[in-house]
Amino acid sequence: MKVAPLMDALSSDPDFSTILVHTGQHYDHNMSGQFLSELCLPEPRYHLEVGSGSHAQQTAEVMKRIEPVLLGEKAAAILVVGDVNSTMAGALVAAKLGISVVHAEAGLRSFDRTMPEEINRIVTDSISDLLLVTEESGRVNLLSEGIAPERIHLTGNLMIDSLQRHIKHAMHSTIRERLGMNGQPFGLVTLHRPANVDNDLQLAEILDALSEISNHLPLYWPMHPRTRVRIEKRAIPLAGQIHIVEPLGYLDFLCLQSSSAIVLTDSGGIQEETTVLGVTCLTLRDNTERPVTIEYGTNRLAGTRKDTILEAWKQSLTDPKKGRVPPLWDGKASVRCHAALRQFLGNQSASMR
């Protein structure tokens, strides 16, 4: 969702030649292959097929497999997005090879170093040459970490570019009919962060809260593979009206998200999408690296305990947040990113003459 609009913008510029590398960190078809087709992304030139493993194993495999790609292609820059292991791994290899690193979605901070994503964000930003920022907090964070102002560009949110381009098409999805919803109000759940899924006590608290909420509002849960494995391994029962469904493609999920009465999630990107869609969001975490979704948007931090989640649920009923769209989340982030890349690479070329 972050790559597609920017690749589209760059493909129309004859001065750019782009190569898409699929690391294989996400390899489920509904979490990867279907997204590529629905977002009209070209077939990746390279499939690294890294697969799963511990954070160290996965990061190391990406580094090993992407190095020959970067050496062979002699790229002027590598552009990495977000905060996953592939992001940090690609940035590290490029920086060691003397290739410029561009980080899209830079500067976001939860200030919680127990989150693997936070480590990825900090490391990637520290070695990036050009930092493309989605919200003002990101710019402030980078400046406080000593990043030079001229390397930081507030561009807006590429994910929102994708949302705006595809929302009309998504609303033609038949996913609600396929799930037999019959027009009834429903809530949407996603849960995948290790801190929530791998901690038995924390997972039990969250599931207890979801079960109680589902007695009032049916909940549909496209379950992440790692979450499913955890729940099945522990034989954890799911009470109430919680409907587990397979992972969904981008358009099906966007349709459900925009139609839902509430979204309960630990995903960062979904906090952003619900803000723009005007859908109530409860974030099942104690912090967020996207404070603009709380300041401007429809997002509330619900914590990870049953009592805090239920309290946030009650607040959402008695005092719903209307929210508004944050600055520069206007569907034109790719245009501003393109301009920042032209300026950066143009200056880089001039300095080498």
Largest CA distance in the chain: 68
- Annotated catalytic residue 192: yes
Phi–psi pair at 334, nearest 5 degrees = -65, -35
Beginning with the edge strand found earlier in the chain, give each strand of the sheet holding 100-106 in spatial order: 77-81, 100-106, 130-133, 152-154
Backbone angles phi, psi at 302, to 5 degrees: -105, -5
Write the burial class of residue 15 (CB in 10 Å: 0-12 exposed, 13-18 middle, 19+ buried): exposed
Q: Which amino acid is at 78?
A: I
Q: Strand pairing partners for 103?
A: 80, 131
- Report how far residue 280's alpha carbon sits from residue 4's, in angstroms, rounded to the nearest whole number: 26
Of these residues, 192, 216, 243, 338, which one is catalytic? 192
Q: CA nearest 126: which of 111, 148, 110?
A: 148
Say which amino acid occupies 119. Answer: I
* Cα–Cα separations (whole angstroms), residue 62 to 49, 94, 151, 196, 251: 9, 12, 26, 25, 28
H or E element in which residue 282 lies: strand 281-283
Within 10 Å of residue 202's Cβ, how many Cβ atoms?
A: 16
Q: What is the distance between the alpha carbons of residues 282 and 95, in angstroms, rounded to a whole number?
A: 38
Helix (H, G, I), strand (E, B) or coil at 77: strand
Q: Which residue has the tokens 């381009």?
A: 165
Inter-residue contact 275 to 281 (CB < 8 Å): yes
Catalytic residues: 192
